[in-house]
C-alpha cells in the first residue's frame, strides 16, 4: 500500500470512529443541562483529560512546536508560564469553582458569574456572553486553520478545503450531543495527543543519532549549529530586552487562572470533590509530559531540516513525524494534531452556543420559558449556525496566519480579563456585579486598542490586560456602590 494511501486510510478510519463515538454519547443528552454541562456529573478522569485536550488544542501540537522551531530554547518561558498556570488552576481554582457552580446551580460560565453577582446579573450575562462569543469566533477559526494546515502538509490539498473537511468532522456530533459528546470525544483525543508527544520525541532522538547526514544528530548540536539566538534562554538579549522576553513567555500563566471559559466549564462539571482530586492529579501529570514533548518536537525539527528548512514553522510537527515514522504509524500520531484541533474547536463551539442560547437569546426572547425537547432543539440550531459563521471567519483569516498569534490574541482579551473576574469572585467578598462589568469592559477594550495600535510588538497584552483589569476591578469595587 502506498504511503499516502496508508495515511488516508488511517485518518478516515479515525475520524469515522470519532464521529460515531460522539453521536453515541449524544444519545444520553436529555435536557439543556446535559447539553450545556453534562448535568454536572463528570467523573474526574473524563473532566481532566477533556480539559487538557481542550486547553492545548492545535497550540500544543502545531503552535508551540512551531515557536520552539523558530526561537530555540527561548520558548521554554512560554512552557513555564503555561505549566505554572495550569498547575495553579487545578490546585487552587478548580475545586472552588466546582463547589460554587453546584451552590448556584450554574450551567454555563456566564451563568456562574451572573448568579454570584446578582446585583448586576442581567447585564453581566449580556456583556460576558457577547464578549465570549465574539472572541471565540477567532479562536474556533484558529482551530479550523490548524486542521487545514495539517491536511495540507499530509496530503497536499488546499488548506481551505482542509478547513472545510475539519468542520465536517466536528459539527455533526457537537450539534447532536453538545457538551457530553464533546467531553467524551476529548478523552480519546487527549490519549492520542499524549501518545504523540511521548512517542515522537523518543523516536526522534534515536532517529537523529543514527542519521549522520542530517543537519544535526542531537538536539543540543542542532541548537548550537542554528546560532546563538537558539541557545540563549533570553534570545541573546540583555537588560530590558531580556526582561521582555521572559515576561512575554511567562505571561501565558495569567490566562489559565479561571479566565478561559472552555476550561473552567470542565471544572464546574465535575461530579463531586473526590472526583475533583483525581482530576487534579491527572491534569497536572498530563501537562508536564505534554509540554516537554511539544518543545522537543520543535527542536528535533531544527536537527532534521535546519533552522530555515520549513516555509511555515507550524508544519514542523507533522513533518517530523512523517520523517521518522513509517507512514501508517505517522498517520496515527499526526492524528494527534487533528485531535488537538478538534478537541478545542468542538468545545468552543458548544460553549459559544450555550452562552448565546442560555444567556442572550432565551432571556431576551418572548419564548424564554420554553423547555424540554424544543429548548434542546433551539440549542442545537444555534450550535449549527455558529459553526457556519466560525468557518467563514477561518476563511477570512486566511491560511497565512499563525495559530500562535491568533491564540495569543484571544488569550489576552478573554483569559486576562475573565481571570480577574473569577479570582475576585472566588476570593474577595467585597467584589460586586457592577465592578465585574467595569472589569470586563475595560479589560476587553484595552486588549483591542493595545493590539490594534501595534503595541503588542513592544510588550505583550497577555500580562498588561490582566494588570489593567485587576486595577479596574479594585478601583470599581471601592468607587462604585453595589
Across 239-260, average pLDDT? 73
Question: Could you tell me the three cell numbers for 249?
Answer: 513567555
Residue with cell 500500500: 1
- Nearest Cα neighbor of 152 from 139, 161, 144 is 161
- What's the pLDDT at 306? 92
**CA–CA dist 306, 207 (Å, integer):** 15
- What's the pLDDT at 327? 82
pLDDT grade for 237, boundaries at 50, 70 and 90: low
Question: Could you tell me the three cell numbers for 226?
Answer: 542554528
- Say what percent of the chain tops pLDDT 70: 88
Across 398-426, average pLDDT? 78
DSSP annotation of 459 reads S
- What's the pLDDT at 363? 66
> What does pLDDT average to over the chain?
84
Write down all domains in the chain, each with its CATH number in brackets: 3-399 (1.20.1730.10)
Across 469-475, average pLDDT? 97
- What's the pLDDT at 364? 63
pLDDT grade for 3, boundaries at 50, 70 and 90: low
pLDDT grade for 281, boundaries at 50, 70 and 90: very high
Across 133-147, average pLDDT? 75
- What's the pLDDT at 293? 95
Higher pLDDT, 354 or 145: 354
- What's the pLDDT at 143? 72
The answer to whether residues 405 and 141 touch, using CB atoms and an 8 Å cutoff, is no
Across 313-340, average pLDDT? 82
| Helix segments in 233-312, DSSP class H | 240-250, 261-268, 273-305
What is the per-residue pLDDT across 179-236, written as a single tens digit (0 to 9) for each?
888 899 889 889 988 999 999 999 999 999 999 999 999 999 999 998 888 987 766 5
Q: Is 368 a residue whose pLDDT tops 70?
A: no
Q: Is 13 a residue whose pLDDT tops 90?
A: no
Q: Which residues of 228-266 are buried (b: 16+ CB within 10 A; e: fewer)?
A: ebbbbebbbeeeeeeebbbbbbbbbbbbbbbbbbbbbbb
| Helix segments in 44-158, DSSP class H | 44-58, 64-71, 76-88, 94-104, 109-116, 121-155
**CA–CA dist 84, 71 (Å, integer):** 21
Q: Is 365 a residue whose pLDDT tops 70?
A: no
Higher pLDDT, 7 or 183: 183
Across 10-17, average pLDDT? 82
Across 69-78, average pLDDT? 89
Lowest mean pLDDT among 129-133, 153-157, 212-216: 153-157
pLDDT grade for 315, boundaries at 50, 70 and 90: confident
Concatenated DSSP letters for 173-238?
HHHHHHHHHHHHHHHHHHHHHHHHHHHHHHHHHHHHHT-TTSS-SSHHHHHHHH-HHHH-TTTT--
pLDDT grade for 408, boundaries at 50, 70 and 90: low
pLDDT grade for 154, boundaries at 50, 70 and 90: low
Across 109-138, average pLDDT? 88
What is the per-residue pLDDT across 423-469, written as a single tens digit (0 to 9) for each?
999 999 999 999 999 999 999 999 888 888 888 878 888 889 999 99
With vertex at residue 463, the alpha carbon angle to CA 459 and CA 465, rounded to the nearest 5 degrees, is: 100
Q: Is 31 a residue whose pLDDT tops 90?
A: no
- 454: helix, coil or strand? coil
Across 30-48, average pLDDT? 86
Amino acid at each position: 500500500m502506498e504511503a499516502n494511501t496508508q495515511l488516508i486510510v488511517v485518518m478516515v478510519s479515525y475520524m469515522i470512529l470519532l464521529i460515531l463515538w460522539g453521536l453515541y454519547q449524544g444519545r444520553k443528552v436529555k435536557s439543556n443541562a446535559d447539553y450545556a454541562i453534562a448535568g454536572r456529573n463528570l467523573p474526574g478522569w473524563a473532566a481532566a483529560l477533556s480539559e487538557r485536550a481542550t486547553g492545548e488544542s492545535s497550540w500544543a501540537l502545531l503552535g508551540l512546536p512551531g515557536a520552539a522551531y523558530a526561537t530555540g530554547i527561548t520558548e521554554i518561558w512560554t512552557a513555564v508560564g503555561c505549566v505554572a498556570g495550569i498547575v495553579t488552576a487545578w490546585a487552587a481554582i478548580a475545586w472552588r469553582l466546582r463547589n460554587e457552580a453546584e451552590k448556584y446551580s450554574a450551567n454555563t460560565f456566564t451563568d456562574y458569574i451572573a448568579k454570584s453577582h446578582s446585583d448586576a446579573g442581567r447585564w453581566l450575562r449580556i456583556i460576558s456572553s457577547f464578549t465570549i462569543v465574539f472572541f471565540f469566533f477567532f479562536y474556533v477559526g484558529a482551530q479550523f486553520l490548524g486542521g487545514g494546515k495539517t491536511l495540507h502538509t499530509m496530503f497536499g490539498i488546499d488548506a481551505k478545503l482542509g478547513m472545510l473537511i475539519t468542520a465536517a468532522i466536528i459539527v455533526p456530533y457537537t450539534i447532536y450531543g453538545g457538551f457530553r459528546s464533546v467531553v467524551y470525544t476529548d478523552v480519546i483525543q487527549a490519549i492520542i495527543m499524549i501518545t504523540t508527544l511521548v512517542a515522537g520525541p523518543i523516536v526522534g532522538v534515536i532517529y537523529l543519532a543514527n542519521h549522520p547526514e542530517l543537519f544535526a544528530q542531537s538536539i543540543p548540536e542542532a541548537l548550537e549549529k542554528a546560532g546563538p539566538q537558539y541557545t540563549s534562554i533570553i534570545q541573546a538579549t540583555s537588560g530590558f530586552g531580556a526582561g521582555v522576553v521572559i515576561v512575554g513567555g511567562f505571561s501565558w500563566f495569567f490566562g489559565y487562572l479561571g479566565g478561559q471559559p472552555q476550561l473552567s466549564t470542565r471544572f464546574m462539571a465535575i461530579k463531586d470533590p473526590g472526583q475533583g482530586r483525581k482530576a487534579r492529579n491527572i491534569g497536572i501529570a498530563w501537562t508536564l509530559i505534554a509540554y516537554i514533548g511539544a518543545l522537543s518536537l520543535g527542536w528535533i525539527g531544527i536537527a532534521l531540516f535546519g533552522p530555515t528548512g520549513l516555509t511555515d514553522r507550524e508544519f514542523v510537527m507533522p513533518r517530523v513525524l512523517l520523517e521518522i515514522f513509517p507512514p501508517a504509524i505517522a498517520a496515527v500520531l499526526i492524528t494527534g494534531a487533528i485531535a488537538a484541533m478538534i478537541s478545542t474547536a468542538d468545545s468552543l463551539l458548544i460553549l459559544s452556543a450555550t452562552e448565546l442560547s442560555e444567556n442572550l437569546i432565551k432571556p431576551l426572547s418572548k419564548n424564554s420559558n420554553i423547555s424540554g425537547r424544543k429548548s434542546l432543539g433551539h440549542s442545537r440550531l444555534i450550535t449549527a449556525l455558529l459553526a457556519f459563521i466560525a468557518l467563514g471567519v477561518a476563511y477570512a483569516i486566511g491560511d497565512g496566519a499563525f495559530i500562535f498569534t491568533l491564540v495569543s490574541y484571544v488569550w489576552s482579551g478573554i483569559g486576562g480579563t475573565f481571570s480577574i473576574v473569577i479570582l475576585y469572585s472566588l476570593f474577595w467578598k467585597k467584589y460586586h456585579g457592577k465592578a465585574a462589568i467595569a472589569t470586563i469592559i475595560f479589560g476587553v477594550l484595552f486588549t483591542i486598542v493595545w493590539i490594534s495600535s501595534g503595541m503588542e510588538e513592544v510588550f505583550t497584552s497577555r500580562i498588561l490586560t490582566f494588570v489593567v483589569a485587576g486595577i479596574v476591578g479594585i478601583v470599581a469595587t471601592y468607587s462604585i456602590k453595589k
